[in-house]
Amino acid sequence: SQELEQSPQSLIVQEGKNLTINCTSSKTLYGLYWYKQKYGEGLIFLMMLQKGGEEKSHEKITAKLDEKKQQSSLHITASQPSHAGIYLCGADMNSGGSNYKLTFGKGTLLTVNP
Amino acid sequence: NAGVTQTPKFRILKIGQSMTLQCAQDMNHNYMYWYRQDPGMGLKLIYYSVGAGITDKGEVPNGYNVSRSTTEDFPLRLELAAPSQTSVYFCASSYGVYPYEQYFGPGTRLTVT
């Protein structure tokens, strides 16, 4: 079974709409990393969350980690075509934290129609 | 800084052939990683290294080998290529201290036929 579940698998939105992508695990997430990937390119780091209840924002993207540290959400406000791509979450799921090996979700493909 | 670079960008191999995927980083990162990405399957860790001369297996190491003779370079060797190794390969690097944010290269798209 997949240790890190992402939902939805794909998402099509109209430009200007808000959207949310989720990343869920049955295990504790000691560090949660969000990446964006454009087709044919590498992954670009967006944000990292560590503490339960933590929230970070960059431009129109907000990421949150729940208090139990088992679910993270990525919210995009007023989406633009430049937001299109694959969003992946990666997590340190080893007890005690401070582990450099990350487990990745399968990704969410976001399409933004003009 | 160039960041993490990978060569080649594309490659087609015949079954049984061998090749080396090159990866280099100029950020003086101690930790380096090799992943493969299959459609709809996310990233799977193949091998990783915590410093020059130190490597270890990840989740899917069979059919691959690595070496780390310098801090900058971390080549991935495919011996006796098989169709199951058709994938996109990503190299990444990170600092040796938390939070271990990983920086990724642009990837190598490999097809084995």
| Residues in chain A closer than 8 A to B94 (CB atoms) | 100
Residue B105, domain member (yes or no)? no
Residue B108, domain member (yes or no)? no
Is the N-terminal amide bond of A8 cis, ω within 30° of 0? yes
Ranges of each domain in chain A: 5-113
Q: A8-22, A85-99, B36-50: which has the minimum mean pLDDT? A: A85-99
User: Both tokens of residue B78?
Assistant: 């495919």
Q: What backbone torsions phi and psi does residue B65 show, to the nearest 5 degrees? A: -140, 155
**Nearest CA among A103, A105, A108 for reference residue A87:** A108
Residue B57, domain member (yes or no)? yes
Residue B113, domain member (yes or no)? no
Q: Structural domain tally of chain B?
A: 1
* B29 Cβ neighbours under 8 A, 6+ residues apart: B71, B93, B94, B95, B96, B103
CB within 8 Å: A106 and B40: yes
Q: How far apart are the first and last CA of chain A?
A: 37
CATH architecture of A5-113: Sandwich (2.60)
* Residue A81, SS3 per DSSP: helix
Q: Is the per-residue pLDDT at A98 higher than 70?
A: no
* A82 Cβ neighbours under 8 A, 6+ residues apart: none
| Residues in chain A closer than 8 A to B90 (CB atoms) | 42-43
* pLDDT band, residue A94 (cuts 50/70/90): confident
Q: What is the largest CA-CA distance in chain A?
A: 45
Task: Report pLDDT digits (tens) over A29-76.
Answer: 888 999 999 887 889 999 999 899 999 999 999 999 998 989 999 999
| Closest CA–CA distance from residue A79 to any residue of chain B (Å) | 23
Mean pLDDT of chain A: 91
- Compute CA distances B87 → A13, A75, A86, B43, B84, whole Å: 29, 30, 17, 11, 8
Q: What is the pLDDT of residue A2?
A: 65
Distance, CA of A5 to CA of A26 (rounded, Å): 9
Low-confidence ranges of chain B (pLDDT < 70): none
Q: What is the pLDDT of residue A1?
A: 54
Q: What is the pLDDT of residue B84?
A: 95
Instruction: Give the domain extent around B22.
Output: 4-96
| Closest CA–CA distance from residue B18 to any residue of chain A (Å) | 24
Torsion sign across C-alpha atoms A56, B31, B89, B82: negative
Q: What is the pLDDT of residue B5?
A: 96
Q: Please tell me which residue, A94 or A110, carries the higher pLDDT value.
A: A110
Q: What is the pLDDT of residue B40?
A: 80
Of A43, A97, A100, the CB nearest to B104: A43
Q: How many residues does chain A have?
A: 114
| Closest CA–CA distance from residue A85 to any residue of chain B (Å) | 14
Taking the Cβ of residue B100 and every Cβ of chain A, the question of whether any pair is shorter than 8 Å is answered with yes
**Which CATH number covers residue B28?**
2.60.40.10
